[in-house]
Structure 1
């Protein structure tokens, strides 16, 4: 019998594949539900941008053509939106793709990556595939960033530092002052990646944003996605903003045609949909107020979440999640170091009400 383990590159067998949350189809099959309230994947409850849907419909007749290999039209739309040159934009098959590309560009075996903890698991995945080491820096007791601890974790072997703001799964932000202090403190050989997947949901004036001031530091890479605010998670489109020299090297390891034709057109259209963007931001704001008030009434602690989700301490996150699943409500748990917490994505007003009704019943059953 072929011993495949002896053939693969060292370290591959140690990588833990990403485990997504259950789908609504899986839960319906497990328990025989006709309807499931799916609040476990940080998806936009308002759905896709209507302008993106129109663009998709118009593009369907051209599916026999290859996409633009350089995503030129989409990159130009992103550049115009941010007021940057098109050379400072790289597009990927979701921001996961770009994390992998950055890892392949900069990391060698023995290098180090510094990541906040807990945070998005793909940062560590990118390091693992390149056989680099991960140095995790715990967030504070209130899940705030400890930038001094991050700076202290950097060594001569550190190549990348990831900063997710608002952080997934805690929803807490990195402030502009913290970012500026950290950039001053870090040595010149460290590339700093700001993951802004949820940043447009936040209206906090103190949060760090990817503006021209931030990009004056040529080590900065800003990640964005169309999966959250724009509701295009199923199309997988993300992008990076950085100085053109840095991106020119990342582009060398990018596969051609890495973003499909329909996704390119839909994302470009979504950028122009200011009404959908404002509605999504307002939905997050009202949903956050709803969950904070309801959880406070139940005696449950929440984080000061700035994304389209909230972290709720229920005592036993896995037990809570399983009990909610039996009532047709899907939330997320299992994040390292957060065994007492569940993450709840904001749903429609009806879905939010159904989630709280189920949560009350689950808590009451424990008494």
Structure 2
């Protein structure tokens, strides 16, 4: 990112060649440019949740707002919420810290462990926020590619660990490859290193297992950190809420370096209300998983497309016929006011794009759009 010469010399030396995060799209700007209403736009590019009823969420939000005093600062410990999370995640309250989304926690973890002399290892292709946050403080960055079938390459990972390596980031289930790594593989990595291993489980509610709920790895390994999000499975992307689970020493240090009131009163109150409806949320998650299977099966019928198995709320698709280009796919979807995500610029993902699993009505629009595109010569 470049500033005018007047300010360039004032920048931190680590930001002079800094590449900003490019995942965001301003929806108001887009609808204004296209001359459509916001309701006409179908967003399938950010893995948001279309299954939880918006009116139901708004009712819970109104109830939460009525229960707080907005003139007072939020509880910096989020004590009541952490007590409930500990119960559902099979852990202790001292193992939990809340964050303003997992992006906030990623940033805290990186600031806690890294500096310009240290190195971070990240399994790729993956979520770009790990690299983004590390680059802001000048840390060196070591990508370790997955195998062509998207399996972990543990030998390559082990060979990449250097004396100045401090952190290893693994997204599981992984965005954008959509697969979850086996718990034995995670254990093997934790056995071979004393570096801090961060497992980003933002999509874990759609997968086979959860490390915190279904294993004892948090108790066994004091260098393990888990990240959890409410944006995907709980439909609260706009609330900005997430948490980390780790040993109490790491949690206490994270608490000491975060912004004091990083987790607002509205988020705390709303999540307390949401946990009263926990079973309803789990039912919606099961609906997403069933719809994911239906959509995968339908897209798999197209000979020009390869659908990768998914343990998330999105599907990764590869264009395997050179009659078309990814740009054509993207443009055709946009003419239908449907946003999807081009992933072809990432390693191992040539000609790949990503689509969020939505409701049946929207998914039928996706199928019809693909039919229109792929029948064209």
Measured against the shorter chain, the TM-score band is over 0.9
* Higher RCO (C-alpha 8 Å, min separation 6): 1
Q: 2:61 aligns with which of 53, 56, 62?
A: 56
Aligned residue number for residue 270 of structure 1? 274
Contact 1:127/1:134, CA 8 A, preserved across alignment: yes
Aligned residue number for residue 15 of structure 2? 12
Structure 1, unmatched stretches of 5+, are: none
Query: Displacement of 1:69 after TM fit?
Result: 2.1
1:326-353 Cα shifts (integer Å, max 9, x gaps): 1111101145222401100011110011
After superposition, residues 39-78 of structure 1 pair within 5 angstroms as 39-47=44-52, 53-61=58-66, 62-78=69-85
1:33-76 Cα shifts (integer Å, max 9, x gaps): 45122111100111368876444212334323321122222222
Contact 2:52/2:284, CA 8 A, preserved across alignment: no
1:336 is the counterpart of 2:340: no
Q: TM-score, normalised by structure 1?
A: 0.92
Query: Displacement of 1:311 after TM fit?
Result: 0.3
Contact 1:48/1:232, CA 8 A, preserved across alignment: no
Aligned residue number for residue 319 of structure 1? 328
The size of the alignment, in residue pairs, is 362
Aligned residue number for residue 200 of structure 1? 205
Contact 1:284/1:307, CA 8 A, preserved across alignment: no
Q: 1:31 aligns with which of 29, 34, 41?
A: 34
Distance across 1 between alignment mates of 2:19 and 2:34? 28
Q: TM-score, normalised by structure 2?
A: 0.90
Contact 1:166/1:198, CA 8 A, preserved across alignment: yes
Aligned residue number for residue 170 of structure 1? 177
1:120-172 Cα shifts (integer Å, max 9, x gaps): 11111121122111111111112222222222211111100011111001101
Aligned residue number for residue 304 of structure 1? 309
Provide closer, same or farther for how the CA distance between residues 99 and 261 of structure 1 changes in structure 2, counting only shifts above 3 A.
same
1:197-224 Cα shifts (integer Å, max 9, x gaps): 001111x25x755555111100000000
Provide closer, same or farther for how the CA distance between residues 199 and 332 of structure 1 changes in structure 2, counting only shifts above 3 A.
same
1:247 is the counterpart of 2:258: no
Provide closer, same or farther for how the CA distance between residues 339 and 322 of structure 1 changes in structure 2, counting only shifts above 3 A.
farther
Aligned residue number for residue 231 of structure 2? 227
Q: Which moved more, 1:158-167 or 1:353-362?
A: 353-362
The 3-state SS of whatever aligns with 2:342 is coil
RMSD of aligned C-alpha atoms? 2.1
Contact 2:119/2:140, CA 8 A, preserved across alignment: yes
Distance across 2 between alignment mates of 1:148 and 1:129? 29
Contact 2:199/2:227, CA 8 A, preserved across alignment: yes
Q: 1:152 aligns with which of 154, 159, 165?
A: 159
1:351 is the counterpart of 2:362: yes
Contact 2:206/2:285, CA 8 A, preserved across alignment: yes
Distance across 1 between alignment mates of 2:212 and 2:76? 29
Distance across 1 between alignment mates of 2:168 and 2:53? 32
Distance across 1 between alignment mates of 2:213 and 2:154? 18
After superposition, residues 106-185 of structure 1 pair within 5 angstroms as 106-185=113-192
Provide closer, same or farther for how the CA distance between residues 49 and 194 of structure 1 changes in structure 2, counting only shifts above 3 A.
farther
Structure 2, unmatched stretches of 5+, are: none
Provide closer, same or farther for how the CA distance between residues 83 and 169 of structure 1 changes in structure 2, counting only shifts above 3 A.
same
1:218-265 Cα shifts (integer Å, max 9, x gaps): 000000011111111101001000001111111111001111111111
Distance across 1 between alignment mates of 2:20 and 2:62? 34
